[in-house]
Amino acid sequence: MKKFKMEAVVGIFVVFGLLCVGYMTVKLGKLDWFSADTYPLVAKFTTVTGLKTGNPVNVLGIEVGRVERISMDQEELKAVVEMRIRKDIKIYDDAIASIKTEGLIGDKYLSVDPGGGGDLLGPNGIITDTQAAPDIESLISKYAFGEVKMEQGKDQNTEKGKQ
């Protein structure tokens, strides 16, 4: 009888542990089993350097979706970003999508300014006004190797102040 009680307690503990591991996998993996409460949108960029599938989509600083797929439009030579947005978030046809960085060298995310002056975008609507992320590496290399030049007016003002 003691052996049965011990096996039952161990079995309950193992099942509870597996449920906890499953829950954490879903939460940390940010899996979305109930995608019926979202709708797809598309944005086209000149470059999407650093953006990956699964990165967050933010509207007014609030996470409202995820990047679903990144592909290339061969005819327009643009990167096509497909995302899923919560159904309760309204995005208009004058919206602006931009790629931003969390912190100085953090992960990229897609920031959407929802607009408000035009018509609502429905499922598979296209955000036409986009801004690619600035290439920090090229800016740093230009600065480090002296390719960034000071403005002409600043140089003259500095010289006048020294005289």
User: At residue 117, what are phi and psi to the nearest 5 degrees?
Assistant: -100, -5
Q: For the chain, give the number of residues.
A: 163
Q: Are residues 10 and 89 in the same domain?
A: no
Q: Are residues 91 and 111 in the same domain?
A: yes
Those residues whose C-beta lies under 8 Å from the C-beta of residue 46, and which sit 6 or more positions away, are 78, 79, 130, 132
User: What digits encode the pLDDT tens for the residues 87-100?
Assistant: 998 888 888 999 98
DSSP 8-state assignment for residue 135: -
DSSP 8-state assignment for residue 21: H
Q: Are residues 27 and 39 in the same domain?
A: no
Q: What range does the domain containing 68 cover? A: 35-136
Confidence (pTM): 0.64
Q: Are residues 53 and 15 in the same domain?
A: no
Per-position DSSP letters for 134-146, written without gaps between them: P-HHHHHHHHHTT
The domain total for the chain is 2
pLDDT band at 133 (very low <50, low <70, confident <90, very high): confident
- How far apart CA 153 and CA 163 sit, in angstroms, is 16
Higher local confidence (pLDDT), 18 or 132? 18
User: What digits encode the pLDDT tens for the residues 66-88?
Assistant: 999 999 989 989 999 999 999 99
